[in-house]
Structure 1
Amino acid sequence: MMRRPLAIAAALSVLAPGARAGVTDNLATSPTAMAMGNAVTADPPGIESIHFNPAGLARLTGTHHIDTIFVASIRNPNKFVTAPDIDIGGFKDDPINGMSSGPVRQAVALPYIGIPKARLPAVAVPGLGFSYNAPGSNWTFGTLVYLSQAMSVDRTKDPNDPARFDGRLIQLQRLNYLSPTAAYKVSDTLRIGLAVPIAYTNFAINTDFRAPNKLLGTVGQLQRAMCPDGNGTVIDTLTFGLCGGGPEGMVDPFKKAANIDFDMHASFDPTFNIGILWEPKKWLALGLVYQGGSDTTFRGQYMVHADPMLRSFVRGLNSSLLGPIVGAVTGMPAEIPEYQSGNMTAKIPFPWRVQAGIKLMATDYVQLNADVSYADWNKWNQLTFEFDQSVKLLEMARLFGYANSHQATFKMGFKSVVNYSFGTQINVTKKLSLRAGYEPRKSSIPGNQMSLLAPLPDTKLKSLGLRYKFDSGAEVNVTGSYIKGSYDIPARSNCNLNCDDFFNLIYNPYAATTVSGSLIVRYFGASYVRPF
C-alpha cells in the first residue's frame, strides 16, 4: 500500500528526460533556423549548419565567427478539478479541487557546478562557433557551442502550488560544448559533411509527492474507525499496530508523503551528424541529415525525505505484536529513515533522427523552405534506474510483487513521430531579408502517458525574424518565436497522472481529477556572424 512513494521517485527520473520528446528540440540552437521554422536542411545557416546539416559548412569560404544569445521563458499554467464521484478509499475531499498552479521560473544548469539558486522569469543562453576554410581548399572545418535541447520549469516560488506533486523543479538540457566538423565540396552543386557533437547532458528533479490510492485510503479509514484521535489502544498494540504511530502516523492519501530530489548528468556524450546538400539549380536545393543517437549512461545522486506520516506509520506497525510478522511476510522495512541518499545510474537512450528538406526560389526575392523529420522515440519503451542501496520506500513495493528494491523499471510507451516544418524568406534588398516560420510539433508522448513532469502536448511554433548584411561581410540575425500547446486530461484517463484503480502501479498524484493546462514558450534570439 505504501509502494507509491518510491514508484514516484523512479518515475520522476524517467519522465523528466521525456521532456525532450519533440517539443524542446532546437529551441536555443539557431536564431536563423528558428525564424524559418527550423526548415533549413536544404539551406543550412552558416556555422550553425553543424547541427542542422553539416554539409552546409562547405558553402563557407575563409574564416568566420558567430556569437549568439537566446532568451526564453516557459509557462505552464494548470487547473485541477476533481470528479464529482471521487472516492479514494473513503476520502472524498481533495484540497486541490478547483486550484490552479502558480508562477513558473527558469534556470540554467552549469556543467560540473549544477543549478544556481537564482530563478528568473526568463533565461539567457549564449553560444559561439568558428569555421575555417583554407584558400582554394574544398575542405571546411568548424565547431559550435550550442544547446540542442532544453526544458526548465521551477514551481518552488509557491510552496502550496498544486502542481508541486508532479515536479517542483524540472531541469533538462543538452549542451554541446564541442562539435568538431568537417565538410567537403564535392562539386559546385554537391557537398557532404560530418559533425561529432559532444554533449554535457543534465537533468534534475525535485518534487513533493503524495499517494491518493484507494488501498492507502482504506488503511486511513480503518485507522479512523479504530482510533479517531490517532492514539493507539492496547488491542491495537496486541494486533497490527495500525494506530501505533500516533496522530502523525494517521494515513491521508491527499497528504504530502515525501520529497524526492534527483540530480543526474552525463559529462561526455558524443553523437554524430551526417549531411548531404545538393543544389542542382539556382532555384532548387535538397538536403538530408542523419543525427545519430546514443545509449547514454547518466550518473548522479538522489535524496529521499520521508515525511512523518510514513515514518510513524511503519514505526507503529513494527512496535505491535503482529505487525512485524506482517512486515516480514510482505517484505516491508523495519523502519523508514527521515533521509536516505546515495548514488544512482540510468542508461537512457538518446534517439536518432533523420530530416530532409527542400528549398525553392519562387522568385529572385521569395524563398520557400519545407522539411520533414522522423525521430525514433520508440526505443523509449521502458527505462531502468539503478540505486546504490536498497531504498527503504521501495522495499514497501514488495507487497505488489516488486522484489528488487535496488532498481525500478518503468514502461514508457513513447512513440516515434513524423513532423513537418515550413519557412519563408523575402529578400527585400541585397542587405535586408525578412523571415517567417511555422512548425506544428507533434509530441512523442501519447496523451494517456503525459504528466506535469513532461507537460508536452502537440504545439505550434510561429516565428518572425530578419537578417541584415553589412558591407564588411558581417551579418545580424534576429528572431522572435511563440510556441503554444494545450491539453485537457479527463479524470481516470491517464495512469501516469490521474487514475484511481485499487492497484495502480504507476504514480497518480491527481487521482480522479481532470487536469487541464497549456505549455507556452516565448523566445528571442540574435546572432552576429563576421569573417576574421
Structure 2
Amino acid sequence: MNAAPSPIVLLAAAGLAMALAPVAHAGVTDNLVTSPTAMAMGNAVTADPPGIESIHFNPAGLARLEGTHHIDSVFVATIRNPNRFVSAPDLDIGGFKDDPINGKSSGPVRQALYIPFYGVPKARLPGVLVPSMGMSYNAPGSRWTFGTNVYLAAAMSIDRTKDPDDPARFDGRLVQLQRLVYLSPAAAYKVSDTLKIGISVPIAYSAFAINTDFRAPNKLLGTVGQLQKAVCPDGNGTVIDTLTFGLCGGGPEGMVNPFKRAANIDFDLRASFDPTVNIGVLWEPKKWFALGLVYQGGARTTYTGSYTFHSDPMLRSFVRGLNSSLLGPIVGAVTGMPQDIPEYQSGNMTAQIPFPWRVQAGMKLMLTDYVQVNADVSYADWSQWNELTFQFDRSVKLLEMARLFGYANSSQATFKMGFRSVVNYSFGTQLNLTKKLALRFGYEPRKSSIPGNQMSLLAPLPDTKLRSVGLRYRFDDGGELNLTGSYMKGTYDIPARSDCNLNCDNFFNLIYNPYAATNVSGSLIVKYAGASYTRPF
C-alpha cells in the first residue's frame, strides 16, 4: 500500500535538500575580488599589508600610512563552469535506462551582481564589473591612523539561464553568493617604529540567491513510473485503478518519469547588517624582515528572505490522481501526505548561518634590495558548517510528504553539510625594477572546504590554483597605481555513485542526486583583472 506515495515523498525531500544545501562559498571564493595589490601577491600580504586595503588583510598596516589617503579600485571578473555528463553503462533507474542528458555538456555561464535592498537584476553579463573605494586619516605627529573601505570580501556568481536545456540546470540555474563590506571603521596604533597593532569592524551586506530546476532520478520513483506504464500504457486511469490507489488518476500529465523536471525553486536570502572584527599585529624589526598576524572573526548571522516552489504538472497531477481514488486518501492520511500540491507555494524563511573565523600569519623577506618574497599560512574554521537549519513561515507541502521518512517538522529543515576546516598557503614575489616600478607575481593553491564526496554543481568548488601577475607604479605626486591580472582553475571528476549530493542511485536515497549513476566532470575557471589608484590629499 505504500508504493504510491513514496515517489512524491522522495521528490519533496530531494528538492528541498538540493535547494538549501549549497549556500557555502567554502573558502575558495574568499579574497578573489578584494584587492588588486593583494591578488598580485597571491594574497600573501599579512606581513606587508597594502595601504588602506590593510583594513581587511591586517589592520595594523594602516599605521604605516601618514597623512590622508584615498583609494579607488575597480575589478572585472568572469567565472566559467563547464561540465560533462556521461551515464554509467549499467544505468537503471527503476527500469528507466536512457537519461536524455547522457553525453551532453553544460552551456554558457554568465555573471550577475546582487544589488543590496534590490536583489539580482535581470541583466546578465559575460563578466562582472565592480568599483570600490576607501580612505585613511593620520593627523600630523599622531601615532593613530583611522580609515574605512568598501570591498567584496567574497563572491560567487553562476548563471546558466541562457540555455533553457542546459543539463546543469538541475543543480543550479542561478547561484549568486556575495559578502559586500559597505563600511569598515578601522583604527591602527604605532606602538613603536617596529611594532604596530590595528582593529577593524567590517560591516557587510551578505546575500545569496538560488534558482534551480530539479528532478528526482531515483529507483523508487522509476519503479512507480514503470508500474504506471503497466497499468495504464496510455496514461488514462481505469475503473479498477480508481477503486484502488489511483496510480493513473492524474492522466497523461501525471505519468512519472524520473528524468523529467518536477519543479523549480527560487530562494532569496540576505542579511543587511552583518558585522565581524579583524585584529592585526605587524612587527618589522628590520627593513628586510617582517612578521604579520591577523584574526578575522566570525559571526552567526541570521538571514531572512523568501522562497517560491513551482511544481510542474507531473507532480501535481500524480497527487491529485492518488487522492481521487478510493484507497489513495487512506494511504495519504496514514503517511501524513497533503491532499494536494499547489502549483506555487511562497513564503518567508530564516536561517542562522555561521560565518567562520579565520587566522592568517605571514612573513616578508627582502632577499636583496630588488627582490622581496612573501609567504602566508591561514586556517579557516569551516567545520562550523557541519549542519545547517532553515526555518519556514509555514508548513511546506513537500516536507509534509516526507513525514513517511521521519521528517516530523514540515516547517523546518536541517541538513548535514560535513564541511571541513582547512589550512592554506600563499606566496608572492615582488621585483623592484626601479624606485617607481615594481613587478609582482603570486601563487595560491587553495584547498576546498567541501569534501570531494559532497560537492555539487550548486557549489562547484574543488581544489584550485591561483596564479597572478601585477605591477606597481609610483608617481612623483605620491600617487600609486596597481594593476593585476590573475587566473584560477580547478578540475573535478566525480565517478557515478560516489557523491550522494550529486550522483548516487540508492533505492531509498533521499538526498538530492539529479545525476544518478552519471559521471560528472568539469572545471571552475576564474579570470580576474583589477586596478587601484591611491593618492594623498
Is residue 2:220 matched to residue 1:212?
Answer: no
Q: CA deviation at 1:9?
A: 4.5
Partner residue in 2 for 1:431: 436
The Cα shift of 1:16 comes to: 3.0
2:275 — aligned with what?
270
SS in 2 for 1:34: helix
Using a 3 Å threshold, how does the CA distance of structure 1 residues 288 and 446 change in structure 2: closer, same or farther? same
Q: Is the counterpart of residue 256 in structure 1 residue 261 in structure 2?
A: yes
Give the AA of the match of 2:23. Answer: P
The residue type equivalent to 1:117 in the other structure is K
Q: Partner residue of 1:139?
A: 144
Q: Which residue among 109, 114, 120 is the counterpart of 2:114? A: 109
Deviations 1:330-351, CA, capped at 9 Å, x for gaps: 1111000000000001100000
Contact 1:491/1:515 (8 A) holds in 2: yes
Q: Is the 8 A contact 1:440 1:458 kept in 2?
A: yes
CA offset digits 1:284-335 (Å, max 9, x no partner): 0000000000001110000000000000000000000000000001111100
Looking at structure 1, the residues matched to 34 and 395 of structure 2 have their Cα atoms a distance apart, in angstroms, of 41
- Determine the structure 2 residue equivalent to 1:2: 8
CA contact (8 A) 1:10 1:385 kept: no
**In structure 1, what is the Cα distance between the partners aligned to 2:133 and 2:19?**
31
Q: Identify the residue that residue 23 of structure 2 maps to in structure 1.
A: 17
Counterparts of 1:346 and 1:13 in 2: how far apart (Å)? 13
CA distance, structure 2, for counterparts of residue 190 and residue 266 of structure 1: 36
The residue type paired with residue 70 of structure 2 is: H
Q: Is the contact made by 2:15 and 2:215 (CA closer than 8 Å) also made in structure 1?
A: no
How far has the Cα of 1:12 moved from its partner? Answer: 4.2
Aligned residue runs from structure 1 range 373-392, under 5 A? 373-392=378-397
**8 Å Cα contact 2:480-2:533 kept in structure 1:** yes
CA offsets 1:487-506 (integer angstroms, 9 cap, x no match): 00000000000000011121
Q: 1:348 aligns with which of 353, 362, 382?
A: 353
Residue 351 of structure 1 aligns with an amino acid whose one-letter code is: P
* Secondary structure, aligned partner of 1:56: helix
1:186 aligns with 2:191: yes
For these two proteins, the number of residue pairs brought into alignment is 531
Q: CA deviation at 1:13?
A: 4.8
Shift of 1:22: 1.7
Aligned to 1:74: 79
Task: For 1:9 and 1:531, locate their aligned partners in 2 and report how far apart those are by CA, in whole Å.
Answer: 54
What's the secondary structure of 1:254's corresponding residue?
Answer: coil
SS for the counterpart of 1:99 is: coil
What are the residue-to-residue correspondences of 1:497-512 with 2, within 5 Å? Answer: 497-512=502-517
SS at match of 1:397: helix
Mapped contact 2:168–2:457 kept (Cα < 8 A): yes
Counterpart CA distance in 2 for 1:140 and 1:224 is 75
How has the CA–CA distance of structure 1 residues 386 and 486 changed in structure 2, closer, same or farther, with 3 Å as cutoff?
A: same
Q: Give the residue type in structure 1 aligned to 2:236.
A: N
Per-residue CA deviations over 1:21-68 (Å, capped at 9, x if unaligned) read 121000110000000000000000000000000000000000000000
> Which residue, 375, 390, 399 being the options, matches 2:404?
399
Query: Which residue identity is paired with 1:418?
Result: V
SS at match of 2:452: coil
The answer on whether the counterparts of 1:5 and 1:258 sit within 8 Å (CA) in structure 2 is no
Q: Deviations over 1:225-267 (max 9, x none)?
A: 0000000000000000000000000000000000000000000
> What amino acid does structure 1 have at the position aligned with 2:362?
G
Query: Is this contact kept in 1: 2:18–2:512, CA < 8 A?
Result: no
Deviation at 1:4, TM superposition (A): 3.7
Question: Alignment partner of 1:424: what SS?
Answer: strand
* TM-aligned CA deviation for residue 8 of structure 1: 4.3
How far does residue 476 in structure 1 lie from its aligned partner after superposition?
A: 0.3
The answer to whether the 8 Å contact 1:7/1:408 transfers is no
Aligned-pair CA distance for 1:11: 2.9
Specify whether residues 190 and 177 from structure 1 end up closer, same or farther in structure 2 by C-alpha distance, changes over 3 A only. same
Query: For 1:380 and 1:506, how far apart are their aligned partners in 2?
Result: 17
Uncovered stretches (5+) of structure 2, i.e. residues with no partner: 1-6
Deviations 1:421-480 (A, max 9, x none): 000000000000000000000000000000000000000000000000000000100000
Summarize the alignment of residues 129-168 of structure 1 with structure 2, pairs less than 5 Å apart: 129-168=134-173
Paired letter, 2:343: E
CA contact (8 A) 1:304 1:340 kept: yes
Residue of structure 2 equivalent to 1:443 = 448
Confirm or deny: 8 A CA contact 1:16 1:203 kept in the other structure. Answer: no
* Structure 2 residue 490 is the aligned partner of structure 1 residue 518: no
Contact 1:89 1:221 in 2 (8 A): yes
Are positions 1:51 and 2:56 aligned together? yes
Q: Tell me how far apart the structure 2 counterparts of residues 288 and 208 of structure 1 sit (CA, whole Å).
A: 44
C-alpha separation in 2, matches of 1:315 and 1:398: 19
Cα drift, residue 6 of structure 1: 3.6
Look up the SS of the partner of 1:220 in the other structure: helix
Residue 407 of structure 1 and its aligned partner are, at CA, apart by 1.0
Provide the C-alpha distance between the structure 2 equivalents of 1:308 and 1:371, rounded to a whole number of angstroms. Answer: 54
Q: What's 1:311 paired with?
A: 316
TM-aligned CA deviation for residue 395 of structure 1: 1.2
What SS does structure 2 have at the residue aligned with 1:448?
Answer: helix
State the alpha-carbon separation in 1 of the partners of residues 29 and 408 from structure 2. Answer: 36
CA distance in 2, matches of 1:390, 1:405: 5
Shift of 1:404: 1.1
Q: For the residues of structure 2 that align with 1:306 and 1:14, how far apart are their CA atoms? A: 17
Confirm or deny: 8 A CA contact 2:15 2:512 kept in the other structure: no
One-letter amino acid of the counterpart of residue 11, structure 1? A
Q: Which amino acid aligns with 1:251?
A: V
Deviation at 1:403, TM superposition (A): 1.4
Deviation, structure 1 residue 76: 0.1
Residue 443 of structure 2 aligns to a residue whose secondary structure is strand
C-alpha distance in 1, partners of 2:19/2:290? 42
Q: What is residue 40 of structure 1 aligned with on the other side?
A: 45
Query: How much does 1:10 deviate?
Result: 3.6
TM-superposed deviation, 1:394? 1.4
In structure 2, relative to structure 1, the CA distance for the partners of 1:10 and 1:189 (3 Å cut) is farther
Deviation for aligned residue 1:400 = 1.3
Q: Output the CA distance in 2 between the equivalents of 1:219 and 1:13.
A: 24
Instruction: Give the secondary structure class of the aligned counterpart of 1:17.
Output: coil
Q: 1:200 to 1:9 in 2, by over 3 A?
A: farther
Opposite residue 364 of structure 2, the aligned amino acid is K
* Equivalent residue number for residue 66 of structure 2: 61
Structure 1 residues 13 and 293: alpha-carbon distance in aligned structure 2, compared to 1, 3 A threshold: farther
Q: Distance in 2 between matches of 1:450 and 1:117?
A: 28
> Does the aligned pair in 1 maintain the 2:19–2:212 contact within 8 Å?
no
Percent of pairs with identical residues: 81
Contact in 2 for aligned 1:140/1:184 (Cα 8 Å): yes
Give distance in 1, aligned partners of 2:129 and 2:12. Answer: 35
Match status 1:226 vs 2:231: yes
Q: Is the CA contact 1:181–1:196 (under 8 Å) kept in the aligned structure 2?
A: yes
TM-score normalised over the length of structure 2: 0.98
Q: Is there any run of 5+ residues in structure 1 with no aligned partner, and where?
A: none
User: How far 1:5 moved relative to its partner?
Assistant: 3.6
Contact 1:12 1:205 in 2 (8 A): no
Shift in alpha-carbon separation, 1:296–1:112, aligned structure 2, 3 A: same
Give 1:420 deviation, angstroms: 0.2
